[in-house]
Amino acid sequence: MSICFDDNKKIFKLDTQRTTYMIGLTQEGYVGHVYYGARLESACAAHLLRTGEPPFTPGVLPSEKAAFLDTLPMEYPTGGVSGYRETALELLNELGQNGCELFYRSYTIEEGKPELEGLPSSFKGAAADGEVMTLRLLLEDPVLNVTVELRYSVFEKEDVITRSAVITNAADKTRTIRKAYSACLDLDNEDMELITLTGAWGRERHIERQKVRHGRTYVGSTRGYTSHQEHPFIALVTPETTQKTGSAYAMHFVYSGNFRAQAELSQWDNVRMTMGIDPDRFTWVLDPGCSFAVPECVLTYSECGLGRMSRNLHDFYRNHMIRSPWLHRERPILINNWEATYFNFDTEKLLSIVREAKKCGIEMLVMDDGWFGHRNLDDSSLGDWYVNEEKIKGGLKYLTEEVNKIGLKFGIWFEPEAISPDSDLFRAHPDWALQISGREGTLSRGQYVLDYSRKEVRDAIYDMISGILRSANIDYVKWDMNRSISDIGNLVLPPERQQEISHRYVLGVYELQERLTKDFPDLLLENCAGGGARFDPGMIYYSPQIWCSDDMDSVERLRIQEGTELAYPLSVMGAHVCCAPNHTTGRILPFETRGHVALSGTFGYELDITKIPDEDREMIQAQTQQYHQFHSLIADGDYYRIHSWNDEQPYDCWGTVAKDGSEALFTYVQVLAKPNQHSKKIRLDGLDPQGVYELRTYGSETKNPMNGEIMAHIEDGVYTGEELMKAGILAGAVPGDYRSRLWHLVRK
């Protein structure tokens, strides 16, 4: 059993394959954190709760209560009564006073994983009995008459523990939630460093690492969605932590709205990690008899560096978060017309792209923005989800039938959460946009945001979208959201509930995507938000892939994809081969390199295939064949980061290895060439040390400068896994920047 309770020591012990998490109870009923780390075979760690040293528990020395609560490692600390570190829960009574104190009442241990109503959350999946178990701890504030059920689900094989909470008002008076985090973890400081994923539009999820200093350091979003700028992930690591060595404690939030992820170093040299809904723009009025479900937080610990941390999370999301039937299927190789045409397209232009795409092995056309209303620029028609037949001559059904006749599937773009002032929908329902009474609405990208906290708004939008999907043979939907949310208010909710709108909005998005996936179960849904602004675990519950970034420059994508791969399986990352010069950076990169970098994601194209050079068009055929050859290995294999070009040497290398070690694919990108450059030794990882591998190289060829003849790849041959991992492989120098190679290894 992965969860047990020692009644004598008052210790709960939660075990995964390699880790142990321990919770202890004080004599007063406070719920304290005892241990999280490498697996312990015994439960003799009750002393780690530090209740036998000053400041003593209130039951021993009542005058020390304030000091005790300020030092006790807590599982779910509360505010207002005592304790001055970051809290997880703050409640207001009917007088508006902030105070809450929780005491343990009971527990249950059960097999499986309960759902969270209205929220995405992990599930048991195909795991056998006993591999996923849940601990429910019931806590109570007897003064407020409020209960909090803390939920811990143990995913044994993946070394993951998820946390969530359900807050219930059992009183006959209203309670108000001012803050409700999902997880708190108190750790001893080991000279900790904090890893976060930060950036901006076009450079999302760059890895940053900094020393944890006294006080509070946090990342978060108040933009209404996850954001380009910050990501709901943090990891505390020891200074020596690398891909292979050192300790890593990670938290990842299963939520798609405002969040706060924080590390606090206290005066006692302890670090408190917290994760949850951002409290600055959130309250929730809890009526008598009502409950509030706190979103889920994913925890994992690795004593073998960031590599194992990443593989834990990848396995967890593949096995227990992504529900789509497309999870293990080969996704159709798509071509999106956005950077090929922008708004300037019609039926014949799209069909000309389709005809050329079919010759190259591309399998689906995605029609992007501009097909609806009277939209020819980004200043109109959002919300008018009916076909513009001046562009799509013959209608959508005709277009899809013609695309299907040529041999491609068809996909379509929506931005369901937006409304243009110049739209029939806005003229009919101006109150459907989020708005602050008496203030002029704030435009961004020429649009407002629909009030998804209102059911009539959600129903109207869904009726339009589902009508389009039923009108033609549509296999794929790209769901976009292109602006941060502002003017968060409406003319419906009472004043005391206006601060609920941000969370209600996110619940509304979840409800619509739930309806979409249930009504169209075979639909391939890809989420997007101005690129990667809503790339989070909540979204992968509904869509098996998310558009990674609007910046498709392969060099920029190296950093973006490295940060994304730190937490997500590669099969989730939307990645395309783009135009040259790149439309974002102006950089010109080899077509081959663009293909190799995009191959690590869902893979597709975003360019005008009718205008590219013949040499590039011919290369597409080889790239599409490589996608089919390597898809399952990339999508389902174990990820290993070999080198980052952020480090001293200007090259990048990563790979995926089959679970049984029988096959591997590594990608090498030479970002910057050097004069008088020699080959590099690259030590691979994840292989069977005793296995013998045959290596084949795909990629940039080296020519003899004396006669122009192609030189043989010096690295092709037969090697042992031990040799490749310990001694390394020679990456022969190739003249020129941005050259790339694939190394494919098959165990003989």
CB 335 within 8 A of CB 410: no
What is the pLDDT at residue 477? 98
CA distance 395 to 388: 8
Angle between the N-to-C axes of helices 614-636 and 591-598, in degrees from 0 to 180, rounded to the nearest 10: 20
| Averaged confidence pLDDT in the chain | 94
Residue 346 has pLDDT above 70, yes or no: yes
Region of poorest pLDDT, from 59-63, 449-453, 567-571, 640-644: 59-63
**Could you tell me the two tokens for 222?**
């108040």
Residue 591 has pLDDT above 60, yes or no: yes
What is the pLDDT at residue 145? 98
Active site residue 129: no
The model's pLDDT over 647-683, given as tens digits with 9 standing for 90+, comes to 877 899 999 999 999 999 999 999 988 777 778 899 9
Mean pLDDT of 585-604: 97
The model's pLDDT over 120-134, given as tens digits with 9 standing for 90+, comes to 999 998 766 668 999
Active site residue 480: yes
CA distance 345 to 341: 6
The model's pLDDT over 229-281, given as tens digits with 9 standing for 90+, comes to 999 999 999 999 999 999 999 999 999 999 999 999 999 899 999 999 999 98
What is the pLDDT at residue 68? 87
Phi, psi (degrees; rounded to nearest 5) at 680: -115, 150
Q: What is the pTM of this model?
A: 0.96
- 699 falls in which pLDDT band (50, 70, 90)? confident
**How much of the chain exceeds pLDDT 90, in percent?**
88
Mean pLDDT of 479-498: 97
Residue 43 has pLDDT above 70, yes or no: no
The model's pLDDT over 532-571, given as tens digits with 9 standing for 90+, comes to 999 999 999 999 999 999 999 999 999 999 999 999 999 9
Residue 81 has pLDDT above 60, yes or no: yes
What is the pLDDT at residue 702? 56
Which member of 315, 480, 536, 688 is catalytic?
480
The model's pLDDT over 301-340, given as tens digits with 9 standing for 90+, comes to 999 999 999 999 999 999 999 999 999 999 999 999 999 9
What is the pLDDT at residue 703? 57
User: Would you tell me how many other CB atoms lie within 10 Å of the CB of residue 438?
Assistant: 5
**Could you tell me the two tokens for 93?**
């009574």
Residue 713 has pLDDT above 70, yes or no: no
Residue 704 has pLDDT above 70, yes or no: no
User: Would you tell me how many other CB atoms lie within 10 Å of the CB of residue 439?
Assistant: 9
Q: All domains of the chain, ordered by start, with CATH?
A: 3-320 (2.70.98.60), 334-631 (3.20.20.70), 641-747 (2.60.40.1180)
- DSSP E strand boundaries for 425-571: 448-449, 476-479, 524-527, 545-547
Query: In terms of pLDDT, which residue wins out, 712 or 572?
Result: 572
What is the pLDDT at residue 712? 47
Residue 711 has pLDDT above 60, yes or no: no
Give, in degrees to the nearest 5, the angle at Cα 572 between 570 and 573: 75
CA distance 22 to 14: 6
What is the pLDDT at residue 660? 97
User: Would you tell me how many other CB atoms lie within 10 Å of the CB of residue 711?
Assistant: 12
CB 385 within 8 A of CB 461: yes
Helix residue ranges, H only, 520-613: 537-540, 554-565, 591-598
- SS3 string, 47-95, reads HHHCCCCCCCCCCCCHHHHHHHHCCCCECCCECECCCCCCCCEEEECCC
Cβ neighbours for 80, distance < 8 A, ≥ 6 positions apart: 90, 91, 97, 98, 99, 100
User: Would you tell me how many other CB atoms lie within 10 Å of the CB of residue 111?
Assistant: 15
Which member of 550, 652, 685, 688 is catalytic?
550
CA distance 137 to 134: 10
What is the pLDDT at residue 130? 67
- 162 falls in which pLDDT band (50, 70, 90)? very high
